[in-house]
Structure 1
Amino acid sequence: MVVFACAECGAVMTARVARVALPDHSSQKYGHDLLSGLLEPGTYVVDPGEDRPWEPRQPEPEPEEHGVRLQTYCISGPPNRIGIAPGDVRGTVFIPDRLGGCCCGWDGQYGPNLACAGCGRPVATRVDDCGFWQVVWLEPDAVRPVAVDGPVQRVLDWPELPSTPPVDALGFWSPPWEAAVAVALAHLLAVSGGKRVSVPDGPVAEAFRRAIDILFPPGPPERHLVLAGPGLSAAITDIALVPRHPQTGEAWPCDAGAVVPMAADVWTYLAYHDDRRLVPAAHGMPAGVRRDDPPPLLPHHLFRPDGRVFLSTLERLAPVRQPWLRRIYDRVKDRPYMDPFV
């Protein structure tokens, strides 16, 4: 366990926290509603930031109107920012002149908006505006970790990991699902070598097949994606879709030719949940009993991975230097709302 202290005066800035893996939806912007917290209380993550193995195409110069340069919008920050739950912050005060220009909260576009209450040094950025997962990002050069006594975080065994359903109570696709599938899709493209990939029928097909049909070249599949993980057969020779542990960030070990990691809660649902509807049969389950077993929720539209998350993941993968994958990247970047993305 650690606490983070101000690098200037040593004042403690946080409650005791333990490190977990960075969620796939950490940089996701979704809709215009207030979203929940990015992290569980008592945990922290480190965001590596914009560490790319290549330099993407430079953006066009910022437009000017009447001699005034327009502000461009950016939600990323410096490398190695430390993310914590807002309720775990201690000993900070808001910086008033860095809180404007937002909608229902603060999005951090003006830089650090929290200062150390002891010395006044800017130390963190609180993000809680509509469309953003609520989190506080500590500046890596403004704080330092201090080891403290406390219970050792127990690493969950693979069979203990929970699953997250893909559809919420209102019938909308889950934003973390859209982010997790986008990350896995980028990795799948990177390991495919540009060859068309087949996927198993069922939930995996619903998540990936439409994107494969649009992004991959036409023709019969030459590669094959198969689920691998706890409780499933390990005899996979081509591409394995495996869970990634939410605490350690490690992918399930297997001997497949290539591995595509996926957020464990989404992978678990894909691997073990059966969405098939029950068909009433004569002299079967009584109507009153069947009534108490509600069918799975149906979404309002086809599943769409998050395009922004897909692009940001692809930028960090070395195979994006290859011309065939760069062409896909450029096509999606030029048309961010094209099928199959949001």
Structure 2
Amino acid sequence: MPTFSPRYAFAAPITTDKITPKIIARAVNSLTTFSGGIYGSTLIGGLCAIVYKDILNIHTIMIIDGRKIAERVERQARERVERLREVGVKPKLVVLSTTSAEGAKIYEGVRRRACDRVGIICERIDLTGASEEEVIGEVEALNQDESVHGILLEAPWSPDIDPRRVFMAMDPLKDVEGLSPCNLGALIAGREDIAPCTPRAVIEIAQSIGFEFEGADVVVVNHSMVVGKPLSIMLLNRNATVHVCHVYTKNIVDSTKKSDMLIVAAGVPGLIGREHVKEGAVVIDVGMNRVNGRVVGDARFDELLDYVKAITPVPGGVGPVTTAYLMLNTVICAERVSSMRGII
């Protein structure tokens, strides 16, 4: 079982149990047993010992505060932006949107506010209804635009577009999601200079609570090119034993129940409950679903609270850290592009 030695003070420990009537009843019953001819001080001592023993057995978990982790990552990005601006470089991110999905519109505001905090210029190009060739043409034009340092093909993508072709056309130096063949190849080789934002966020969250990857059993419920595939590579780079589950996995419980860490990004609200999780495991919930006007994850958060070692909430867990790493990746791209041009 991996050890947990918090590296940062971003994982807030809470207790999920209290001194219940049942505990008090046990203490009273014990006092009754002791009542024949025992002095009052002994009775009080017995009560204290019993209650203290039960308090020691209270289950303690960590609800991981993604916002605190994001603040630190954004601060690092902001400091690097200031150094770039000193030499006349103003980092600029261009977002290509190919769908009018509600989730994309919500995230647009979140992303723009983060760019404002860090000092990144952000431009969004609406390509809803554009053909694949038109999207690729836009990417090729941005590749040549010297004022642009980062290009993001916003998910979800239009069903009429093969994102693999778009990423193949993208300049690897400006690929802020790290999904071009060049950047993915570097990831496999163990170089994570530009890695996909959500996998980077998951790794950072796990490291923030001191999770030891080496030798740990980690299950990823997702096999997309944005999350599951690159994340599994990054976990392997850290010597974890990795199992990947997806829509074609016949019985995910066979894998998830044995894992020290369960990372779920299925996009299915309430998919993961106690029956899927080993007691004392870590659960990182990447899912973000809107149900009855509320944003919820893929894990049944309340059900797992008194069962797991640590868990990320939704919202406030993986999402803010993912956005922060988009900022940092954009800055890294600006540094790389500027270095190639001999500016820094």
TM bucket, shorter chain: under 0.3
> Which TM-score applies when normalising by structure 2?
0.28
Higher share in helix: 2
Structure exhibiting the larger radius of gyration computed from Cα positions: 2
